[in-house]
Chains A and B, each alone.
Chain A
Amino acid sequence: MLHIERIPLLWVFFQAAVVVTWCFTDLETGPGAGVSVTQPNGDRFKIEGRAVVPGVKTQDWVSTARIFVEGEEYVGFVRTDGSFAVNDVPSGSYVVEVITPNYRFEPVRVDITSKGKMRARLVNFIKTSEVIRQPYPLQIRANGPQTYFMKRETWGWTDFLMNPMVMMMVLPLLIIVLLPKVVNTNDPEMRKEMEQSMNMLNPNPELPDVSELMTKLFSGSKGSSKAGSSSKGTRPAVKRR
């Protein structure tokens, strides 16, 4: 349990480290959590970047792509080379997303100061002031095609065999059929040996039932050997076929 208690501590350290690095790398604080007032006649800025879908030609996906800045507040389009620019954005903090129906892109938060300084960071809706820097101009890579579909449950032999119910049925059957053949329980020496090993395993004298259990088990196995013989009865029939 000790290490579990340590995890939050580690987390605090990590956060502190992040905050410290942020303080060092970014002295210009940018618009913090509270500052996103848009002046009606303030300057307008341009958010630039490039979107890449690995392994797919740009002309195959750019016609369906759009850039959303804070939902549909500001809209941009992707150029034929994959780069994009969203014009006329006032200062503030925005979530920039590449919207395509077929590929998945991670959103990025872009902060624009009133002087027009830009910075990009990971989107974190829970800790909104946390800063994990991303490159600016934005470099957004698709992390694969969208997975809209569930896989059908297909039926296979392995599924059937690995089913716990089937396992529970098959394993005892195997034991019942095979065990009497492997171990000759009628041999008295063998029997003694087994009994000894059992005693070794259970040195506790308070459990005298074990021997009883053993005898029961063996008598059971005799029964099962009978069952085996009955199954032998069918075997010639199989041979006949």
Chain B
Amino acid sequence: MAKLILMCLKFMVLCSTVEAVFEDQVGKFDWRQQYVGKVRFSHFDTHLQSSKKVLLATENNVFASLNTRTGELLWRHVDKIGPEGNIDALLQHGQDALLVVGDGRLLRSWEINVGGLNWEIVLDSGSFQSACLIGQQDIVKHVAVLKKTVISLHYLSNGHQKWIENLPESDTVDYQAVYSGGNGDVYALGVVPHSHIAIVVYSLEDGEIIKQISVEAPWLSNIQASCAVIGQGMLTCVDSATVSLYMLDLDAQSEMTQIPLQSLGLDVTPGFQPVLVSTQPNPAQPPLSEFFLQLGPEHHLLLQLNDGQIVTLRDFKPAMLVSFATTGEKTVAAVMSPKNMTACTINLFSAESGRRLLDTTLIFNMDPNVGKPEKLYVQAFLKKDDSVGYRVMVQTEDHTLTFIQQPGRVMWTREEALSDVVTMEMVDLPLTGTQAELEGEFGKKAAIQDGLFSMVLKRLSSQLILLQAWIGHLWKLFYDARKPRSQVKNDVTIENLSRDEFNLQKMMVMVTASGKLFGIDSKTGSILWRHYLENIPSNAAFKLMVQRNTAHFPHPPQCTLLIKDKDTGLATLHVFNPIFGKKSHITPPAMPQPILQSLMLPVMDQDYAKVLLLVDDQYKVSAFPSTKNVLQQLQEMASSIFFYLVDSSQGRLSGYRLRTDLSTELIWEVVVPTEVQRIVSVKGKRPNEHVHSQGRVMGDRSVLYKYLNPNLLAVVTESTDLHQERSFVGILLIDGVTGRIIHEAVQRKAKGPVHVVHSENWVVYEYWSTKSRRNEFSVIELYEGMELYNSTVFSSLDRPHAPQVLQQSYIFPSSISTMEATLTEKGITSRHLLIGLPSGGILSLPKMFLDPRRPEIVTEQSREENLIPYAPELLIRSEWFINYNQTVTRVRGIYTAPSGLESTCLVVAYGLDIYQTRVYPSKQFDVLKDDYDYMLISSVLFALFFATMISKRLAEVKLLNRAWR
């Protein structure tokens, strides 16, 4: 009984020693940025004149509302990833926003002020085509949803279905659009490609078919791409083959009238599909009779339909983007036209007359490192003098949103490319001149060359430099203190970037799926540089490598990004400076062959750049940089350079050795039969990882040595049979040099997704147990035993004894999204696992809890070793969340980097959001904690000092008294 109590006590003590965040640390060294993704639909909230909201529906299945003054999120709703959460349409009516989600599966209505759901209904199956609000007599009460085979009408107030009707001849007719002009009729427009248009008119009240007409249109294949309804129900289409406009009155006519564009004096750019843009400001009223016709990539026309005649109001050439906007009763057209290479102008024109409105010019400056403008969203408002003012939101190719006010003031920009970070690295900041000087003093070369005297001089001069810097700092402080607080700017710019004394501030180089690269200051989160790479294939895989860090001063740091097209395997290299983001002048080698593998060698060329080896599909190796020096070094080292290739489609792992002529030879091959299981992931160890202690001290004072094989690979396989009784997850530990299988474990009745962390002498993996329907963790640790075979160096080729393998499994009460281990400078600090949960929390779980030596029965020895008794369930304590309520939605990766302090590990979690913080797995043992009580220690010192003074005085008095006696 006593033992049990002791055990419990110990457990509690251990638990309480685990770090957590203190409330006053909030925002001190951590920051979060929230994103929504590439915008697909956007609506400005116009139902109130003073509203400052913009609704965004994005390709990342996010529906959000932004504050237009600041660009910050008011609220955000993140749906499922994939087609089931895909947002098909966004309609706004008053305070409600309607979303059609998941290819027409769900219809949702949101309250946009609070951000709460009004209602959600399931629609009948069928692929979604179009949706529109239906009004009658100026009141909008319904929404119509058109699907492949049915059309349904729903009440806006509660989503209930008013009626649902099958579309006639839906097997031949492709219904694509739904339209209502506010007169109580609902038009479903369909097309039989290259034959005719089918128009079905339904009654709003009961869904009865009022009219059904079919109109010959052998030139038409897609209504949505080439048609629009203009004015009083005039369906207008444009055809590039006959270079004509076709018009049809939906109510009266049964044949289309052809208007050749030449009769209007217009000409289409060859090879361009003309586009019609109309606007319907109020769904209860027919669309305006003015519309845009785009005839070329930079040629737009504002046309008007006047008594069946088309009148050209204005010709815009060049004009890149056009957009309509309505405020009150006024509708305006905004036109963006290029001004010069780096700027565009936006002007407002009256939609009715085509006249330019005075004082509405707005200048949009284009950064050369940013893509071209793609979409224009205009927020128009009435000024006090009843003239129209406006602000615009410009969306560029690189998914950036820029919100601009007249006459060109950028109110905010949002880098939505950061919602899709693929990979990242953290690079040390460069030393300042003074720091470099100080470092240079201790350089080895200097010490040998110089005599004692010059050394002393150097020392003195460096001290002087330090003093100078300190005085300069003090002066700046003093100078800033006199200024009002608002004027003091502590903006970090590239110019004043320098390493801090503990190397806690670094440059985060982030690569996004859209091909935009970012350099972010890790301390503040401000974006210091951005670079948009054009012509990135949509399915590209990226690998970012640091070839030269900032430690080699005259040489600039250098990063290399390998961009590989997943289909063809062809790759390109982008070489750049990670601190400034500038493309390097070094020309990367051309790679005509598909690339199979890339590996970074610890070998450096004479300019201190690490050598990157690229293996192509002919198993030929090329080096970058490939100077003579490098090739010579490679020839010398060739016999000790090994690499492996994974072919998951054939289930083959193969190991190769480099020959001196840079060809390769196959030395081993492991085949995993693809009929039974497939390779899911292969994880090696991180090359920059340090292990401080070679072994663990046991309770009886003997040492259990760790099996620290740097070439070990953890290969995870999943069964192809997904039946829950027969599915399994396998893990293979393979030596990457010899191909020797060190260990093999199989988890029966388990399935993926499997998340793996491989570090030191352990592998932790997580899987779904189909038998018990829960997530489980398993840990494998490898030990050499009580004796070390060769304590000086580890060689895969000379290790005769197989390691001892220990394994234990635990229940984890949540599914996980991603997993990574903390990393510190020297590896002395205990390790934690950082687990990204779907809820957005990032859990810091001590590795101590995942230790296969946790005993079931507590003994004296295990207590001596501080082993926690085995418990099947791992707990999630909310104090262990390192990001408290700053959740990281859809966390996809966690990046850890060591800092200059052994106790501190820098952590970046990225997904839809980006969160940066520091963790202290063994608390801050090497610096004073930030709650260190300076007051107490100084008051105690002073009290003691005064006490001695007083007592001294008293003693003197006493002695004097005694002498008198």
The answer to the question of B22 belonging to the interface, with a C-beta cut-off of 8 Å to chain A, is yes
Residue in A87, A99, A155 whose beta carbon sits within 8 Å of that of B840 in the complex: A99
Min CB–CB distance B749 → chain A (angstroms): 10
Segment 807-862 of B: residues with Cβ below 8 Å from A: 811, 813-815, 838-840
- From A70-78, A174-182, A219-227, give the one contacting chain B: A70-78
Interface range on chain B (Cβ under 8 Å from partner): 35 or more
- From B73-81, B232-240, B338-346, B500-508, give the one contacting chain A: B73-81
Min CB–CB distance A7 → chain B (angstroms): 12
Take A63-B114, A77-B77 as given contacts and tell me if A237 and B957 are in contact as well, using a CB distance cutoff of 8 Å.
yes
**Residues of A close to B114: CB separation below 8 A:** 59, 62-63, 80
> Contact between A97 and B839 (Cβ–Cβ < 8 Å)?
yes
The answer to the question of A91 belonging to the interface, with a C-beta cut-off of 8 Å to chain B, is no
The answer to the question of B483 belonging to the interface, with a C-beta cut-off of 8 Å to chain A, is no
Residue in B80, B115, B873 whose beta carbon sits within 8 Å of that of A63 in the complex: B115
Take A59-B116, A155-B933 as given contacts and tell me if A148 and B878 are in contact as well, using a CB distance cutoff of 8 Å.
yes
In the complex, which residue of chain A has the Cβ closest to the Cβ of B772? A128
> Contact between A72 and B838 (Cβ–Cβ < 8 Å)?
yes
Residue in B77, B78, B724, B931 whose beta carbon sits within 8 Å of that of A153 in the complex: B931
> Contact between A150 and B771 (Cβ–Cβ < 8 Å)?
no
**Residues of A close to B873: CB separation below 8 A:** 125-126
**Residues of A close to B772: CB separation below 8 A:** 33, 125, 128
> Contact between B884 and A149 (Cβ–Cβ < 8 Å)?
yes
Q: CA–CA, A198 to B873, complex, Å?
A: 56
Q: CA–CA, A1 to B117, complex, Å?
A: 58
> Contact between B120 and A150 (Cβ–Cβ < 8 Å)?
no
The answer to the question of A102 belonging to the interface, with a C-beta cut-off of 8 Å to chain B, is yes
**Residues of A close to B80: CB separation below 8 A:** 72, 74-75
Take A36-B724, A66-B78, A155-B933 as given contacts and tell me if A71 and B117 are in contact as well, using a CB distance cutoff of 8 Å.
no
**Residues of A close to B355: CB separation below 8 A:** none
The answer to the question of A104 belonging to the interface, with a C-beta cut-off of 8 Å to chain B, is yes
Q: CA–CA, A65 to B873, complex, Å?
A: 27
> Contact between B115 and A128 (Cβ–Cβ < 8 Å)?
no
Q: CA–CA, A71 to B755, complex, Å?
A: 15
Min CB–CB distance A152 → chain B (angstroms): 5
Interface residues as binary, B12-38 with A (CB distance below 8 Å gives 1, 0 otherwise): 000000001111100000000000000
The answer to the question of B473 belonging to the interface, with a C-beta cut-off of 8 Å to chain A, is no
> Contact between A71 and B838 (Cβ–Cβ < 8 Å)?
yes
Q: CA–CA, A203 to B815, complex, Å?
A: 69
Take A59-B114, A125-B811, A149-B884 as given contacts and tell me if A237 and B954 are in contact as well, using a CB distance cutoff of 8 Å.
yes
In the complex, which residue of chain B has the Cβ closest to the Cβ of A71? B815
Q: CA–CA, A240 to B958, complex, Å?
A: 11
> Contact between A36 and B773 (Cβ–Cβ < 8 Å)?
yes
> Contact between A87 and B120 (Cβ–Cβ < 8 Å)?
yes
In the complex, which residue of chain A has the Cβ closest to the Cβ of B122? A87
The answer to the question of B529 belonging to the interface, with a C-beta cut-off of 8 Å to chain A, is no
> Contact between B811 and A37 (Cβ–Cβ < 8 Å)?
no
Q: CA–CA, A212 to B110, complex, Å?
A: 90
> Contact between B879 and A147 (Cβ–Cβ < 8 Å)?
yes
**Residues of A close to B774: CB separation below 8 A:** 125, 128
The answer to the question of B1 belonging to the interface, with a C-beta cut-off of 8 Å to chain A, is yes
> Contact between B773 and A93 (Cβ–Cβ < 8 Å)?
yes
Min CB–CB distance B883 → chain A (angstroms): 9
Q: CA–CA, A46 to B881, complex, Å?
A: 32
**Residues of B close to A70: CB separation below 8 A:** 815
Min CB–CB distance A34 → chain B (angstroms): 7
The answer to the question of B928 belonging to the interface, with a C-beta cut-off of 8 Å to chain A, is no
**Residues of A close to B21: CB separation below 8 A:** 148-150
Segment 664-722 of B: residues with Cβ below 8 Å from A: none
> Contact between B75 and A64 (Cβ–Cβ < 8 Å)?
yes
**Residues of B close to A155: CB separation below 8 A:** 933, 936
Segment 947-965 of B: residues with Cβ below 8 Å from A: 954, 957-958
Min CB–CB distance B873 → chain A (angstroms): 6
Q: CA–CA, A59 to B22, complex, Å?
A: 28
Which of A77, A102, A107 has the most CB atoms of chain B within a 10 A radius of its CB?
A77
The answer to the question of A231 belonging to the interface, with a C-beta cut-off of 8 Å to chain B, is no
> Contact between B773 and A62 (Cβ–Cβ < 8 Å)?
no
In the complex, which residue of chain A has the Cβ closest to the Cβ of B26? A149
Interface residues as binary, B778-811 with A (CB distance below 8 Å gives 1, 0 otherwise): 0000000000000000000000000000000001
Q: CA–CA, A212 to B1, complex, Å?
A: 40
B residues apposed to A, CB below 8 Å:
1, 20-24, 75, 77-81, 84-85, 105-106, 108, 111, 114-120, 122, 724-725, 770-774, 811, 813-815, 838-840, 872-873, 878-879, 881, 884-887, 890, 931, 933, 936, 954, 957-958
| CB<8 Å pairs between A and B, sample of 13 | A33-B772, A34-B724, A59-B114, A64-B75, A78-B116, A87-B106, A101-B885, A146-B884, A148-B878, A152-B23, A155-B936, A234-B958, A237-B957
Please name 15 further chain A to chain B contacts, defined as beta carbons within 8 Å, in addition to the given A77-B77, A147-B878, sorted by A numbering: A34-B724, A63-B115, A72-B890, A79-B120, A80-B116, A80-B118, A88-B105, A99-B838, A123-B813, A150-B20, A150-B21, A150-B879, A152-B931, A237-B954, A240-B957
7 closest Cβ pairs, A-B complex:
A63-B115, A71-B815, A80-B116, A148-B884, A63-B75, A101-B885, A149-B23
